[in-house]
Amino acid sequence: MKNIYGILVFGVLSGLVLIEGQSLGIAETVKSSKSQPSAQASPQAGEQKSHKNESKWREKMQDLYRALVELTTDASSEQRFNAPANHSRIEKNTKKLMDRAHEMSEKGLSPDADPTIKMVSGLFQDETKRAYWALKSGNRAYARGILNQVSSYCIACHTRNNSGPSFASLPLEPVSKGLDALEQGRFYAATRQYDRALDTFLKVVDDPSAPIQRPLEWEQAIRSGLAIAVRVKKDPDQAQALVERVIASKKAPYFLKQDAAQWKVSIVKWREEIPRRALTEAGLHVEAMQLIAQARELQKYPMDHSADVLYLRATAVLHELMQTAPDGRFSQDALFLAGMCYDILRPLHLDDLHEIYYEACIQKIPHSPTAETCYRRYEQSTYEGYTGSSGTHIPEEMRLKLERLESLARPEKSINF
């Protein structure tokens, strides 16, 4: 049964969308250059600073890319990872990832204003730091397990939308014979080589034995390819071509074929939409709300994935909103909505990605109704994460964090109760 609170919230919001959309211009058609925002007071100074930041950021990304190339190759083979001759290189590259992750989280370095960069960079730094100290202490198996997953943080940022630099022209790539097709695809996605990533994911999807012999990998390839086609490429034709492969598969699980059939319906409707582009913060907010309201209406139960195409489109718009106005009128709402979308899209990304948005939402405007809603979702997710067959066991450190976040989230008038 759907969450009653969610139904009430989205019932009201979906009713307001049309009214707000008419007044704020959600259906803004693509306009000519005459409709561009007016120039700022010092455009040349602003452009010079922007170019400088972009150049510095690109340099850092290329350095990270080269380290990732070697680590991906080394971590793909236990023998290669544990060979004494490779220890120094692996440790050096792990430290480089840790240092670059720290630099990426510094305020003002990224030319992208989306707060996702800083949040994911923080998680990336924590994981690479754990891997580095595991290597230093001799726990190589643990370090290798972490390093095999670090590309997930790159993918989480790089498949938000089509913004950012491309590294397709760089000559480096992992040793292909050491990686399976899914790992290759994830590497290409992590390094923004989207055409190669999508082609590689399609090879996995086209393998007739994969749904039976490697069902988890097969589903991951489908979802990863769909994210690129929908959010990065924004191409309904590519998305539909992938989805039809799933529908046509004779060995695909029934639930996944049912999801794919609904994805196709969403894609066909997407293709039929009038070309439009929201040009304002308010327009982007309403566009995201429209997509989420449609997705909620389509879902039959909370974790139903039949609306994933709509949620993917919504997250692309939300990231554009956070890039456009990171401290704007709808900034806290964007964080809440992103957390809610990623909670549904959890099989696609990092398991705890939705939680970092809820936490940021609480900290954005403490003691607000939206902060309280974000805390409720964060707390619920935390309890679910620490619950197993033996019951719920929340570490003391996490309990203290929950108390701190709750104190920030609760309305000020109820803090003493």
**pLDDT interval class at 182 (50, 70, 90):** confident
Q: Position of tokens 């399976």?
A: 180
Question: Which residues is 392 bridged to in the sheet?
Answer: 387
Residue with more model confidence, 312 or 172: 312
The pLDDT assigned to 35 comes to: 39
Q: Which amino acid is at 346?
A: R
279-326 residue pLDDT tens:
799 999 999 999 999 999 999 988 899 999 999 999 999 999 998 899
Query: Average of pLDDT values for 230-258?
Result: 95
**In this structure, are residues 72 and 179 in contact, taking their beta carbons and an 8 Å threshold?**
yes
108-142 residue pLDDT tens:
556 667 777 777 777 778 888 888 898 988 889 88
**pLDDT interval class at 241 (50, 70, 90):** very high
**Measuring CA to CA, how many Å separate 369 from each of 32, 230, 383, 400, 404?**
39, 32, 21, 22, 17
Q: Which amino acid is at 87?
A: H
Residue with more model confidence, 16 or 179: 179
**pLDDT interval class at 51 (50, 70, 90):** low
Residue with more model confidence, 171 or 125: 125
Query: Average of pLDDT values for 171-184?
Result: 66
CA 275 from chain centre, in angstroms, equals: 25
Residue with more model confidence, 24 or 294: 294
52-76 residue pLDDT tens:
666 776 777 777 777 877 887 788 7
**pLDDT interval class at 235 (50, 70, 90):** very high
**In this structure, are residues 161 and 319 in contact, taking their beta carbons and an 8 Å threshold?**
yes
* Residue 67 token pair: 């380290």
Q: Where are the domains of the chain?
A: 1-28+276-345, 193-265
Query: Average of pLDDT values for 378-407?
Result: 93
Judge whether residue 399 has pLDDT over 80.
yes
Q: Could you say which DSSP state residue 176 is in? A: G
Judge whether residue 404 has pLDDT over 50.
yes
In 3D space, the residue among 376, 397, 359, 348 whose CA is nearest the CA of residue 119 turns out to be 359
How close are the terminal C-alpha atoms of the chain, in Å? 32
Judge whether residue 374 has pLDDT over 90.
yes
